[in-house]
C-alpha cells in the first residue's frame, strides 16, 4: 500500500508542475494579448486623431484656394498643430481636380490640397510587430500612424446640397444665333436639374429685357414696358430632386425666351445685374450663398441714359381718346382717316391726307392741321407724393409724299384739359416710318408738374403737321407717353450713377453685388469684341470683352472664357458645384 501511495503522490506532484508551467504560459499569453489590445487601442486612437487633424487641415487649407497656395499650406499646418500633431511630420501637396480650367499648375494655382500627417502610437509589442511584417513603421518606441485627407474648393466633385440662391442672367440678343441660344438655354437648365430644390432657389434675368406678362416675348423697343427679371427666386423649379418643373417661371422663362431685341445695340449687362442684386437682397434667404451667373457673347454696348434722378417710370402708355382741333387749324380735321389707330402700336396708321391750307412752316400757324390725344392712363402708375422728373413722348410717324423740302411735326403738352399748352418740340419727319422721341427722363417741358395734372382729364398731347407744301400727307402709327418720377427731394439716393458707358455701368453694378457678398460668375462665350461704346475716359474703354467680363467676376475661378465651339454644360456644372459645396473633402 505504501508504494502505491508514493506513486500517486509523485503523479500529483508532476501534474502540479505541469499546471504551473501551463499557468505561467497562459499568463504570458494573456499579458501579450492585453498588450496587443492596448497597442491596437493606442493605434486606433492615434489613427483617429491623425485623420481628424488631416481632415481639418485639408478643409481649412482649401478655403484659401485657388488664390494663395502658400497661405493654404500655412493654414493647414496650423490646423494640424492645433489638433495635436507635429507639423514637422506633415506632407502637403496640391493638385487640380476641376473639370474646367480654373487651375494652372504651372502658375501655382490649384483647387485641391492633400494633407498627410504622421504620428507615433505607443506600442508595447512594436518589436514583435516589426518581426511579423510591420517593417520600419513599428519598433520598441511605437508604431508610425499616418493618414491622408484631400479637400478642394470650387468646381470639383459633385453638385452639393449647400443652400444657395442663384440668379442666372441670359444674353438672348441678336448676336446669339439660334443654335447658340439653344445651347445656352440647355446648359442653364442642366444646372437647374443638377440642383436640389430642397436646398437651392433659382431665378432668371434676361438681357435684353422682356415684355411684362410675357417673358417669352423679346422687347422690340427700349421705350416699351420692360422687365429685366421676369422670374423671381423660387424652389418650385423641380417637381422632385433632379426633375425640372417646366411650369415654374424660371424654367419656363429660360426655355421659351426668344432671340433678338430692339434695333441697334441691345446688350445691356448692368441693368440685369442690378435687377438680380435687388432680387437677392429682397427675397434671398439670409445666411446662404447668393450667386449671379452671367452668360454672354460680348461686352456691354448699351446702358441707360445718365443724369436722371428718377427712380421709376410709368412705362410707355398709348392714348385712349383722340379728336381733331376743329378751329384755326388748317382743314380743321387733323388726322381725318382712322385717327384711333394711332392709339395702338402696330394697328395701322392714322392719316392726314392734306396737312393744312397754306405752305407756312410755323407750328403756330392757324393754317396747319392739329390733332389732340389723351386718356394715356399714366396717373394711376404714379404713387401719391412722388416728384415728376420728366415726360417723354413717342411718335411712330412718316411723311408719305416726299414732295416738300421741309416736313416736320410739332408736339405740345397740356396739363388742364387743353386750355393751356407748353412750348412745342419739333422734329423732321422722314418718308420711311421711324420712331421719334421728344422730351425725356429729366425734361419737364418748361414747368413743374403735379400728379393731378397727369390725369386722363387734364393731360393731353397735341400734334401739328407742318410742311412747306400743304398737299403733303402725314401718317401716325403710334403716340405714347411716359412719365418719370421719384421720391420728393431727388429720390435716387443722391441721383443716378453718372456712368461712362455700357461697360462702366455693368462694372458699377457688379461692384455693388460683390460688396454685398454675392458671388458673380461670368461666361465669355465667343466674346471677341471690345468696350468700344464707353467714353474714352472710362477705365474700360476699348478693353477686350473677355478681360472685361473677367473683371466683373468675383475672382479668376469665377470667370470662364470659352469659344463658341465649347460645350457650356460642363461649365455650368462647375459653377453649380462652386455655389453649392464650397470647400469639401474628396479623400
CA 497/CA 207 separation, integer angstroms: 20
CB-based contact 314:441 (threshold 8 Å): no
Q: Is the pLDDT higher at 574 or at 132?
A: 574
pLDDT of 8: 57
Give the pLDDT band (50/70/90) at residue 495.
very low
CB-based contact 168:523 (threshold 8 Å): no
Residue 150, phi then psi, degrees to nearest 5: -120, 135
The DSSP H or E segment spanning 545 is helix 545-552
CA 17/CA 23 separation, integer angstroms: 10
> Residue 127 pLDDT > 50, yes or no?
no
Bridge partners of residue 121, in order along the sequence: 143
DSSP assignment of 444-496? -TTS---SGGGSTTT-EEEEEEEESSTT--EEEEEEEEEEEEE-TT-SSSSS-
Give per-residue pLDDT as tens, 5-46: 555 555 555 555 566 666 666 675 666 565 555 555 555 666
Which domains are present in the chain? 28-153 (no CATH), 164-306+501-585 (3.40.50.410), 312-486 (2.60.120.260)
> Residue 49 pLDDT > 60, yes or no?
yes
Mean pLDDT of 237-260: 91
Q: Taking the complete model, does pTM exceed 0.95, yes or no?
A: no
Give the pLDDT band (50/70/90) at residue 2.
very low
Mean pLDDT of 309-325: 82
CB-based contact 259:218 (threshold 8 Å): yes
> Residue 126 pLDDT > 70, yes or no?
no
Q: Is the pLDDT higher at 126 or at 183?
A: 183
Write out the three cell numbers for 488: 420728393
Give, as one character, the DSSP assignment of residue 325.
-
CA 550/CA 548 separation, integer angstroms: 5
Strands of 149-153's sheet, edge to edge? 91-95, 112-116, 149-153, 583-585
Give per-residue pLDDT as tens, 382-436: 888 888 988 999 999 998 866 667 889 999 999 999 999 999 998 888 888 888 8
CB-based contact 527:549 (threshold 8 Å): yes
CA 52/CA 117 separation, integer angstroms: 10
CA 587/CA 243 separation, integer angstroms: 29
Q: Is the pLDDT higher at 49 or at 542?
A: 542
Mean pLDDT of 543-553: 94
Instruction: Give the whole-number percent of the chain exceeding pLDDT 70.
Output: 80
Please provide the average confidence, as pLDDT, over all residues in the chain: 82
> Residue 227 pLDDT > 90, yes or no?
no
Amino acid at each position: 500500500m505504501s508504494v502505491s501511495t508514493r506513486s500517486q503522490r509523485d503523479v500529483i506532484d508532476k501534474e502540479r508542475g505541469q499546471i504551473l508551467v501551463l499557468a505561467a504560459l497562459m499568463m504570458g499569453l494573456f499579458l501579450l494579448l492585453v498588450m496587443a489590445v492596448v497597442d491596437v487601442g493606442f493605434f486606433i486612437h492615434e489613427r483617429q486623431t491623425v485623420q481628424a487633424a488631416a481632415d481639418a487641415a485639408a478643409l481649412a487649407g482649401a478655403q484659401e484656394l485657388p488664390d494663395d497656395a502658400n497661405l493654404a499650406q500655412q493654414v493647414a499646418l496650423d490646423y494640424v498643430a492645433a489638433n495635436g500633431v507635429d507639423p514637422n511630420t506633415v506632407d502637403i501637396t496640391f493638385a487640380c481636380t476641376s473639370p474646367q480650367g480654373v487651375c494652372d499648375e504651372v502658375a501655382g494655382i490649384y483647387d485641391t490640397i492633400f494633407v498627410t500627417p504622421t504620428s507615433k502610437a505607443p506600442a508595447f509589442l512594436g518589436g514583435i510587430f516589426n518581426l511579423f511584417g510591420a517593417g520600419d513603421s513599428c519598433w520598441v518606441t511605437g508604431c508610425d500612424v499616418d493618414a491622408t485627407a484631400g479637400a478642394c474648393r470650387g468646381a470639383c466633385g459633385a453638385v452639393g446640397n449647400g443652400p444657395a440662391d442663384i440668379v442666372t442672367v441670359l444674353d438672348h440678343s441678336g448676336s446669339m444665333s439660334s443654335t447658340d441660344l439653344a445651347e445656352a438655354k440647355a446648359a442653364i437648365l442642366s444646372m437647374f436639374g443638377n440642383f436640389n430644390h430642397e436646398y437651392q432657389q433659382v431665378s432668371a434675368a434676361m438681357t435684353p429685357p422682356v415684355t411684362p406678362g410675357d417673358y417669352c416675348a423679346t422687347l422690340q423697343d427700349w421705350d416699351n414696358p420692360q422687365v429685366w427679371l421676369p422670374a423671381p427666386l423660387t424652389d418650385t423649379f423641380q417637381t422632385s430632386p433632379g426633375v425640372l418643373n417646366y411650369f415654374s417661371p424660371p424654367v419656363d422663362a429660360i426655355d421659351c425666351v426668344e432671340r433678338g431685341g430692339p434695333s441697334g445695340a441691345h446688350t445691356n449687362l448692368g441693368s440685369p445685374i442690378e435687377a438680380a442684386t435687388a432680387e437677392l437682397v429682397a427675397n434671398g434667404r439670409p445666411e446662404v450663398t447668393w450667386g449671379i451667373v452671367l452668360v454672354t457673347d460680348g461686352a456691354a454696348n448699351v446702358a441707360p441714359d445718365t443724369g436722371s434722378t428718377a427712380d421709376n417710370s410709368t412705362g410707355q402708355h398709348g392714348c385712349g381718346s383722340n379728336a381733331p382741333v376743329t378751329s384755326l387749324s388748317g382743314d380743321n380735321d387733323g388726322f381725318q382717316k382712322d385717327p384711333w389707330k394711332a392709339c395702338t402700336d402696330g394697328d395701322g396708321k392714322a392719316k392726314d391726307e392734306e396737312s393744312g391750307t397754306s405752305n407756312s412752316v410755323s407750328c403756330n400757324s392757324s393754317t396747319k392741321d392739329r390733332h389732340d390725344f389723351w386718356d394715356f392712363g399714366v396717373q394711376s402708375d404714379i404713387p401719391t407724393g412722388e416728384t415728376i422728373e420728366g415726360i417723354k413722348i413717342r411718335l411712330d410717324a412718316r411723311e408719305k409724299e416726299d414732295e416738300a423740302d421741309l416736313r416736320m411735326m410739332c408736339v405740345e403738352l397740356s396739363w388742364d384739359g387743353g386750355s393751356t399748352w407748353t412750348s412745342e418740340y419739333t422734329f423732321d419727319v422722314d418718308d420711311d416710318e421711324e420712331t421719334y422721341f421728344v422730351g425725356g427722363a429729366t425734361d419737364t417741358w418748361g414747368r413743374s408738374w403735379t400728379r393731378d395734372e397727369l390725369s386722363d382729364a387734364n393731360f393731353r398731347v397735341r400734334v401739328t403737321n407742318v410742311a412747306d407744301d400743304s398737299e403733303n400727307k402725314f401718317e401716325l402709327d403710334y403716340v405714347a407717353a411716359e412719365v418719370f418720377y421719384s421720391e420728393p427731394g431727388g429720390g435716387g439716393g443722391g441721383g443716378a450713377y453718372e456712368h461712362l458707358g455700357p461697360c462702366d455701368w455693368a462694372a458699377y453694378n457688379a461692384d455693388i453685388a460683390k460688396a454685398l457678398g454675392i458671388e458673380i460668375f461670368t461666361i465669355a462665350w465667343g466674346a471677341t469684341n471690345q468696350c468700344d461704346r464707353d467714353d474714352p475716359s472710362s477705365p474700360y474703354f476699348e478693353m477686350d470683352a473677355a478681360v472685361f467680363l473677367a473683371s466683373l467676376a468675383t475672382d479668376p475661378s469665377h470667370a470662364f472664357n470659352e469659344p463658341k465651339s465649347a460645350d457650356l454644360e460642363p461649365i455650368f456644372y462647375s459653377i453649380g458645384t462652386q455655389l453649392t459645396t464650397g470647400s469639401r473633402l474628396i479623400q
